Structure formats: C-alpha cells, structure tokens
Structure 1
Amino acid sequence: MRPDFAAPSHPDPIAESSIWAAELKLGFTQRGDKTVLARREHRGPLTVQRPFYPEGGVCHVYLLHPPGGVVAGDQLSITAAVDTTAQALITTPAAGKFYRSEGCEARQTVNLKVSENASLEWLPQETIVYQGARLNSSMHIELAVHGRFIGWEILALGRPAAGEGFDNGTATLNWHISRAGRLFYLERLRLDAEAFQARWGLFGHSACGTLFVYPATPVQLAAVQELIGDEANRGVTLIEGLLICRGLDLRADLLKGFFEEVWGLVRGDVVGREVCAPRIWAT
C-alpha cells in the first residue's frame, strides 16, 4: 500500500548510504463547494501530484515515490488529516514494490485522521512484496464519531508471472482503528513462507487483501454477501459498524477488481457519491 514508479525487476544491491527516509504530511480542508489540499509538507523522496477534481468537490490525490521501490532499511511515513466536512481520495499511480533484503526490515507507517462529517478513501494500488523482502507496515486510522472511511490493502507476494514464489521473506501488517479516541479494532498479520503455502494461510495464493468500510450497516453487509455468493476465497463481516471484507486470489488485479465492486456497492451510502475511479488506474 505504498506509492512508487516502475523500477528494475532485479535491482543491484543497495548500499547503506542509499537508504531512504521519507515523510509526507497532508491536510485537507473544505473551502466553498470543494475540498482543497491546504497543508502539504514532505521530507525526502515522497510527494504528491497536484490534486484532481474528476467528480466535483472531492479532492483526488496521487502519492509519488520517485526512487521506484523500497529496500532494506528504508522508512516511509505518511500522515493525512481530513478536516470537518472535507472529502478526499488518496491513491497511487502504480503498484508499490518492496525488494529483497539481507536481514533489515523496510518500514512503512501510515497515519490517517478523519474529522466529523468528513470522508477519506485510501485506495492504493497493490503492493508487490518480492521474495526475500522484509516488510513491516502499520496503519493507524483515527475516526471521529461521524467520520467516514473506505480503505484497502492488497498484497502480491512474489511474482508468479516471472516464476517467483515466496519461499523466504516476511510481511507484517498492523491495523489500528480508533473511534472518538477509543481503540476498537486491532489486527496484526504476519505472512512468511509457511503461511504462504499452508492450508490455514494463503494456500499458495499470491494475492491477499483486506478492505475496511466505516460506518456500515447490515444493509451493506447483505449487499456484499450477495455479491460474493458462492465464490471461494472471499469473505465479509460486520463488527461494531466496521465492514471487513477479505479475499485471496492468484492474481492481484483480480482481487483489486473484486474490491472495486465492493467499493461500488458501499460508496453511495458511506461517502454519498457514486463511484468515480481515479483516471490513473486506466493508464
């Protein structure tokens, strides 16, 4: 769930002096009939393109990470705050890439804050975790009582199209979701070679993902259940108004397509708008 441009599929070993530490802070505010990117600070190679407005007042922002991938020791930090009544959508222009490591972790921390009657959609393209990579990713989401959030995380372990599995490496994923200052959802998932192959884990599926929707009701739960039907490796549940949808697949693009369908079912009720896919997804 991180941004970058295309990068060589077989990067040379990275010297310690090449390790990147990057930080990005964004703040969205409602002005008149549209949301504007009112605050933007960055340190290191992490920035955004100018905002887009393909659907009127919602501010669409694309995260950019020019180095082209994340290697051992890199640390990325992204913070985004959406002020009262503002509406923002954040995505990436391409898949993220975490490269193999000789032992050090690459870390990514994302902190998202959604104020009263504001909405934030966190919809990055998939993250490719190369065989031998060591990723530690943390998502912290702070919601006001009437804050609205839709977000997903899609991982592709290895590169099956290139004949690469996930025989070694780790991906540790942490989600912390609080509402009105109270932690109400905590999840930690650790994926390694055993989990990749095991029947209790991914069972050889290279793509896995989770989608969160808040606030949700049994109406949205029933709609997603109907969408899933008898399809294998898909699931959805509702916990304290938080809709949690999960999926496994052999291809990350198919899993993303499923999540986009779920997004289409719930966005009108949660954000109050019909789906408007970012243009960058079509390129």
Structure 2
Amino acid sequence: MQLATAHSSWKARLSLEFENRTQRTIVSHRKHSGPLVIQKPFYPEGRPCHIYLLHPPGGLVGGDHLSLDVLLHKGSHTLITTPGAAKFYRSAGPLAQQIQTFNISNDGLLEWLPQETIAFNQTNALIQTRVNLDAGAKFIGWEITCLGRQASDELFNSGRFVQKLEVAINNKPSLIERALFEGNSELLSSPWGLAKHATVGTMIVTPANQQLVTSVREHLQVCTQGKSGQLFSATLVDNIMVCRYLGPQAETAKHLFIEAWKIARPYVQNIDACIPRIWNT
C-alpha cells in the first residue's frame, strides 16, 4: 500500500438534525460535503430512526479529516451505526482525524453504535467524540478499537492512535478521557496496560444508576464465565455507566456490549433493544 501524502487527503463533513413528529423521528436537516453520507432512514421498530453512516472510500489515510455533527431535538430518538469497520491506514506523517459532536436535547435519545475501528500499523490518527446533553437527555454509545490486524498477523508496533471522549451534562463536564496508543510502547505489552491484547472498547450509558450497573455486571459475568483472555467491567461515574472491554477480538467486544445494551436500553428508554438489520449481513 502506498503511504499517504498531504496531496491525497479527503475532507468530509456531515451535519444532521432530528425532530420528533407524531409517529416517528425524522431527519429534519441534512448537509454534507465530501464522501460522508447516510442511507435512507429505516424504521424497523416504529418511532426510532435508524441511520446507516457511509464513508465510501472505506478508510482514512494521513491528512483525511471527517467531521460529524448530530443534533437531536426534544423527544427524538435516533440510532446511528455503520455497515463495516472504520479503518485508519498507515501514514507517511500527516494526521488522519475523525471528529464527532453529538448534541442531545431534553428527552432525546441518541444511540451511537458503530462497528469497530481498526488502527493499522504505522497509522497517525485521532478520534475525538464530544457528547453534549441537556438536562433530561439520554445517550448510549460505544467505541471498539483494534490495534493492528490480527487476522493478517500485523501488530501495532509503529504509529500513533489517540482517542478523546468528553461527556457534558447540562453544560457541566461529567466524563473526560484520553487514550494514547503508541506502537511498540510499554502500555501495549505491560500487565498494567493492555497486556498484549489488541482490542479495547468503551461503552457509556446515561442516565444510569447502581442497579443498572449491577444488572449488567451480573449478566456479563455469566457471558464471560469460563472464557479466559478477556476482561469486562462496568462502573458508575456520577449518573453515567462506563463499561470497558479488553481482549483479543472485536466480535467478542461487540457481543458483550450488545448484551449490556439489551439491559440498558429498556432502563433508559423503556423499549427493548432492536438489532440493526445491517449487523446481520
């Protein structure tokens, strides 16, 4: 694969707004530039709007910049997912960036449930996610990251991958996280770090309480019983449930997060989880 140069980069931006109408949530505003688009909305469960986010080039190289801005108006409910893994390819130096900002109004629920992100060896990339919730707003989201490509025996022994996550509720910072993964660093191999695991994941749910956290813990303990080499945790930070995965495979992380989602969604929105159709293809 040819290393990316600044002259071959893409710039793409997508802005979406959602409104609650009598019987369903609709896309009330859509504006895009560059190769970042959505398919026609799906309504497999009635009112909630399911959106499939598409990036036709299939991955990001050095110098690429994707920007996603989503606004949910009062009472709207939207689930956003992707048809396949996001890929950050190796870079000759320029930074590849994916910046996403989610603004959720009172009584709105955004479910941000993308497929995994693959950081190729020698990548130089940043993913930054900011979630702004009004009082009474709700959010369920996850990010699953694979460092290197295990299927191709490609380790993440060179490169830099940064993830930033900020959650603000009613204009007050509630959760701020920053992860820096550098190829062949001590963090990747040490027992106090990733312990040579290639897949990490974070899932957040708000609002949440200790009862929800306990239910998720107990159920996931059953799911992981007898399966060594993978770790799952659920903790409560103020009124945010933070779930984490560390293990060998993205599919396992996704399976466990889906199990947690099946418990969290009825708590947050009083409706059962509805698996997006595209996950079954």
Flag whether TM exceeds 0.5 (same fold). yes
Q: Which residue among 162, 179, 190 is the counterpart of 1:198?
A: 190
Gaps of 5+ in 2: 225-229
Question: 2:89 — aligned with what?
Answer: 99
Question: 2:227 — aligned with what?
Answer: none
Question: 1:77 — aligned with what?
Answer: 67
Question: 1:279 — aligned with what?
Answer: 277
Question: 2:264 — aligned with what?
Answer: 266
Kept in 1, the 8 Å contact 2:208–2:240? The answer is: yes
Equivalent position SS for 2:256:
helix
CA–CA separation in structure 2 for the residues paired with 1:274 and 1:229? 21
Is structure 2 residue 110 aligned with structure 1 residue 120?
Answer: yes
RMSD: 1.1
Q: Deviations over 1:105-146 (max 9, x none)?
A: 111110001100110000000001101111111111000110
Deviation at 1:170, TM superposition (A): 1.5
Question: 2:211 — aligned with what?
Answer: 219
Q: Which residue among 11, 35, 43 is the counterpart of 2:33?
A: 43
Question: 2:252 — aligned with what?
Answer: 254
Which residue identity lines up with residue 112 of structure 1 in the other structure? F
Is structure 2 residue 27 aligned with structure 1 residue 29?
Answer: no
CA–CA separation in structure 1 for the residues paired with 2:63 and 2:4? 10
Deviation at 1:216, TM superposition (A): 0.4
Which residue identity lines up with residue 85 of structure 1 in the other structure? G
Question: 2:240 — aligned with what?
Answer: 242
Equivalent position SS for 1:174:
strand
Aligned-pair identity in percent equals 38
Which residue identity lines up with residue 115 of structure 2 in the other structure? Q
Equivalent position SS for 1:161:
helix
CA–CA separation in structure 2 for the residues paired with 1:267 and 1:56? 16
Deviation at 1:242, TM superposition (A): 0.2
Deviation at 1:237, TM superposition (A): 0.5
Is structure 2 residue 58 aligned with structure 1 residue 68?
Answer: yes
Q: Which residue among 169, 175, 180 is the counterpart of 2:165?
A: 175
Kept in 1, the 8 Å contact 2:4–2:90? The answer is: no
CA–CA separation in structure 2 for the residues paired with 1:40 and 1:59? 14
CA–CA separation in structure 1 for the residues paired with 2:258 and 2:14? 26
Kept in 1, the 8 Å contact 2:5–2:92? The answer is: no
Question: 2:220 — aligned with what?
Answer: 228
Deviation at 1:206, TM superposition (A): 1.0
CA–CA separation in structure 2 for the residues paired with 1:91 and 1:36? 16
CA–CA separation in structure 2 for the residues paired with 1:228 and 1:66? 35
Deviation at 1:15, TM superposition (A): 4.0
Kept in 1, the 8 Å contact 2:42–2:49? The answer is: yes
Equivalent position SS for 2:263:
helix
Which residue identity lines up with residue 32 of structure 1 in the other structure? T
Equivalent position SS for 1:229:
helix
> Would you say how many aligned residue pairs link Structure 1 and Structure 2?
273
